[in-house]
Each structure stands twice: as C-alpha cells, then as structure tokens.
Amino acid sequence: MRHRVAGRQLGRTKEHRLAMRRNMVASLIQHETISTTMEKAKEVKPFAEKLITLARKGTLAARRRAIALLGNRNIVETEEGREVKKGTVIGKLFSELGPRYLDRPGGYTRIIRLSLRRLGDNGQLVLLQLVGSEEKPEKETKTTHKKRFGRKAKQPAESEQAVEAQEVAEAEEKAEAQGPAATDFKNPKGKADENQ
C-alpha cells in the first residue's frame, strides 16, 4: 500500500522521474513555455517555483543550491548552421528570472489547457508557462488609465502642447540643416539679423 505517499509515479522509476523533472524545468527556464501533459505539468510546477524563489534571493548559497537541484545545462542556439553557446540555465535563472519576480510573492508559473490531445494515448496537453513578461504592459496601461481619470481636462491639452512643441523643434532643425538662406526670405543675401 502507498497510503499518504505524496507525488505521482508517472510510470517511471525514481531516477527517471528526477531526470525528467530536471529536464522539463531546464527547458521551461530556457524557452519560458513548454507543452506537456497535465500530470507532468502539475508535478513539475512546484519544483520550478522553488527554483525561482531561490533565484529571487540571488546569493551565492542560493546559486549553489539551484545547481545542486537542477544542474547547469548550457543554452545552445543554432546560427548559420553552427551551434553557439548563449549561456547557462542557472545564469538565465539568476540574471533574468530572479529580478523579474522580485515584486511577486509567488505564482511564477501557469498551466493553460489546450484543446489538443496527444496522438497515441489521447493525453490532455497543456502549456506550462512562466508568468511576468506579459504583465509589464498591463501595469503601464493601468497606471496611465488611473492618471487620466484624475485629470481629464488637463492631459489632452498638455499632450497637444507637447506635440506642437515637438513639431516646431523638428521644423527648426530642418531649417537650420538647409542653411540660413533658405529660412530668411526677407534677407535674400543670407545675412543674419542684428537682433539675433
């Protein structure tokens, strides 16, 4: 009996499960979205969240702990028929993903169900994604939206004045680039006025 034994076996031995979990999380960190089955995604998600929490700390001890848990696989891309090393999984985890989630207390991944089923065993396919890159524009629009409600009448006038000032500045730059003779119609010889 396996009463109260946590986790899924997934039809694999212990070593196979650990290797699969490491590979899937390394791929998730590298590509930021992977397609897998629902059961595997639910098993991998907590491990990915723990590694991102370690990356938020950013200390040397946290980096060594992450390498011990995950390994340090190279990120390799193919350019012009050659394989080029772009860094490592732990490097990306600590340099990009850790700082991205500093303000977020948890919930770094999401599972999105797909309507597709896997051929062969008809398994339910899902997308396991990292959250965060899509949220940055939403925060900006929310803040501008709030500011607009506070000052409805002032903001359009200010923006029109800014656009007009920018157009005037661009026209002056073009005129200076063409030379003084092109801008001074009253003085055909191109002599500068004494006032300026």
154: tokens are 């002032």
* pLDDT tens-digit series, residues 54-111: 999 999 999 999 999 999 999 999 999 999 999 999 999 999 999 999 999 999 999 9
pLDDT of 171 higher than 80: no
CA dihedral 137, 113, 93, 59 (to 10 degrees): 100
For tokens 């011990």, name the residue.
Answer: 68
| Average pLDDT of the segment spanning 164-176 | 72
Phi first, then psi: give them for residue 12, nearest 5 degrees: -135, 160
Q: Identify the three-state secondary structure at position 33.
A: strand
Q: How crowded is residue 78: how many other Cβ atoms within 10 Å of its Cβ?
A: 8
Question: What is the chain's percent helix, strand, coil content, to nearest 5?
Answer: 55, 15, 30
pLDDT of 32 higher than 60: yes
Q: How crowded is residue 43: how many other Cβ atoms within 10 Å of its Cβ?
A: 19
Name the average pLDDT for the chain: 82
- The β-bridge relationship of strands 109-117 and 82-88 is unpaired
Q: State the Cα–Cα distance between residues 31 and 114, nearest whole angstrom.
A: 18
Of 49, 51, 20, which is closest to residue 36 (Cα–Cα)?
20
For the entire predicted model, the pTM comes to: 0.66
* pLDDT tens-digit series, residues 5-27: 999 999 999 999 999 999 999 99
Q: What pLDDT score was predicted for residue 75?
A: 92
Q: What pLDDT score was predicted for residue 116?
A: 87
Q: What are the CA-CA distances from residue 151 to residues 40, 141, 145 (Å)? A: 50, 16, 10
Q: What pLDDT score was predicted for residue 180?
A: 56
| Average pLDDT of the segment spanning 28-35 | 95
Q: Work out the pLDDT band at 167, boundaries 50, 70, 90.
A: confident
Q: Work out the pLDDT band at 175, boundaries 50, 70, 90.
A: low
* pLDDT tens-digit series, residues 106-155: 999 999 999 989 899 999 999 999 997 665 544 444 444 444 455 444 45
